[in-house]
Amino acid sequence: MTHSDRPADHKKPLAARSSGPLSGTVRVPGDKSISHRALILGALAVGESRISGLLEGEDVLNTARAMRALGASLERTGDYVWSVKGVGVAGFAEPAAPLDFGNSGTGCRLVMGAVAGCPITATFDGDASLRSRPMRRVLDPLQLMGARLGGGGKAGRLPLTLIGARDPLPIVYRTPVASAQIKSAVLLAGLAAPGVTTVIESEASRDHTELMLRHFGADIVSTPEGPHGRRIALSGQPELHGAQVVVPADPSSAAFPVVAALIVEGSELVLPDVMTNPLRTGLFTTLREMGGLIEQDDLRGDAGEPMARLCVRASKLRGVEVPPERAPSMIDEYLVLAVAASFAEGTTIMRGLQELRVKESDRLEATAAMLRVNGVKAEISGDDLIVEGRGHVPGGGLVTTHMDHRIAMSALVMGLAADKPVRVDDTAFIVTSFPDFIPMMRAAGAEFS
């Protein structure tokens, strides 16, 4: 993609209208979190890693470009198959130009961690959405480990320059919010530190970094901490070796066809190889509590990540209360859950959503706005979102996407079962996470125009 082809440059409006039953098999692309991590750990390993099923979305491609700029060799050897030859722990070379992460908070924050443990200076940048997101949350612990801030860093917003530590220190760090990005940044910096780097989280967040570090040969131990938390201890300066990674389908992308199948009458969709790591499946748990018919078979696992085939059938949904401790396991799914809640009978209360305010957009406000403009009653009370489901959605609204892929996909899903079409002002950002979303949904019967 050349600079002028980036999502921000061309607005792509689209409308979704009431569709006949959705049917068939939807092959959701590779998991975004795992794809970023496979590229980064492959780049820090000695020898060759082979990654299959990589998400070739713009967010992950930006991480691939960053790994090249930092000295790793990456080659696309087939469809979704990549070979990475790494430089070894702490072996990154100084990049010649700023690293541009586009729309991706995950790519940016994880690579900040990996760079913080290397004796190099790198400038990090991104698009307008990423430039507005907080970076202090990763810079604070990375500074404790010995990294320093150059230009722009004080404000904690991109663009900023990070000066990696020559002799990084292992730390014990308690994350202030449940965030896999903060945890992962500290662990990736800790790879280069002597001794044990420890991260303590009071609510467990997705553990893909821990599972994959172990898969690449690191010594990492995770133990329970309190009722919902974890203590993760990584022994520094391991020799990471190249590994094979099979990336399962992304449950956060599967969320859109799954909710579409539940709300469009008569639908039945099959989704193979969807990752079922329990720290990612809060949406499926919630949809089942709402009465959603989601069956699971063909259970398998790779590199410690479980996966299964999902079979979803249109269902009568009812409102539920979603507890705050479930939020980390479905943090990216509240937008599309709110769509399901709008079609349910009764009230859905989603608690503890403060982190939604710092995603690709302020997703708490954006979700309420998406529902209201389509005739659904939605209220924000503190950090909670309350949706009044009436069993149907009037629709007819124009949804503003705020450079946020998940707003665009959620609004399009809503339009497939709403009384009147739902329009979105811009679908261009869908390429960041699910490039084939529109053709795949069309092939299953979705009406977009």
Residues within window 17-76 making contact with ligand S3P, judged by CB under 6 A = 33
Question: What is the Cα gyration radius of the chain?
Answer: 21
Instruction: Draw the binding track, 318-337, toward ligand S3P (x: CB under 6 A; -: no contact).
Output: -------------xx-----
What is the closest distance, in whole angstroms, from the C-beta atom of residue 119 to ligand S3P in the complex?
A: 26
User: Would you say 201 or 302 has its CB closer to ligand S3P?
Assistant: 201
Residue 285 φ/ψ, nearest 5 degrees: -60, -45
Which distant-in-sequence residues (6+ apart) come within 8 Å of 206 by Cβ? 33, 180, 277, 279, 280, 328, 329
Please tell me the distance from the alpha carbon of residue 86 to that of residue 48, in angstroms, as a whole number. 7
What is the closest distance, in whole angstroms, from the C-beta atom of residue 415 to ligand S3P in the complex?
A: 24
Which distant-in-sequence residues (6+ apart) come within 8 Å of 251 by Cβ? 31, 274, 275, 276, 277, 280, 281, 283, 284
User: Would you say 175 or 267 has its CB closer to ligand S3P?
Assistant: 175
Contact of 407 with 399, CB cutoff 8 Å: yes
Residue nearest to ligand S3P (CB): 33
Which active-site residues does the annotation give? 332
What is the closest distance, in whole angstroms, from the C-beta atom of residue 190 to ligand S3P in the complex?
A: 16
Contact of 96 with 69, CB cutoff 8 Å: yes
Residues within window 148-207 making contact with ligand S3P, judged by CB under 6 A = 179-181, 184, 205-206
Number of residues that bind ligand S3P (CB under 6 A): 11
User: Would you say 33 or 401 has its CB closer to ligand S3P?
Assistant: 33
Per-residue burial over 131-142, b if 16 or more Cβ lie within 10 Å, else e, is: eebebebbbebb
Residues within window 394-433 making contact with ligand S3P, judged by CB under 6 A = none
- The token pair that represents 319 in the structure block: 């409102």
What is the closest distance, in whole angstroms, from the C-beta atom of residue 350 to ligand S3P in the complex?
A: 15
What is the closest distance, in whole angstroms, from the C-beta atom of residue 205 to ligand S3P in the complex?
A: 6
User: Would you say 179 or 197 has its CB closer to ligand S3P?
Assistant: 179
User: Would you say 180 or 418 has its CB closer to ligand S3P?
Assistant: 180
- The token pair that represents 261 in the structure block: 């199948």
Residue keyed to tokens 């989280």? 201
Please tell me the distance from the alpha carbon of residue 377 to that of residue 315, in angstroms, as a whole number. 21
Residues within window 354-383 making contact with ligand S3P, judged by CB under 6 A = 355
Contact of 305 with 248, CB cutoff 8 Å: yes
Residue among 35, 103, 106, 329 that touches ligand S3P (CB under 6 A): 106
Q: Which residues bind ligand S3P (CB under 6 A)?
A: 33, 106, 179-181, 184, 205-206, 331-332, 355
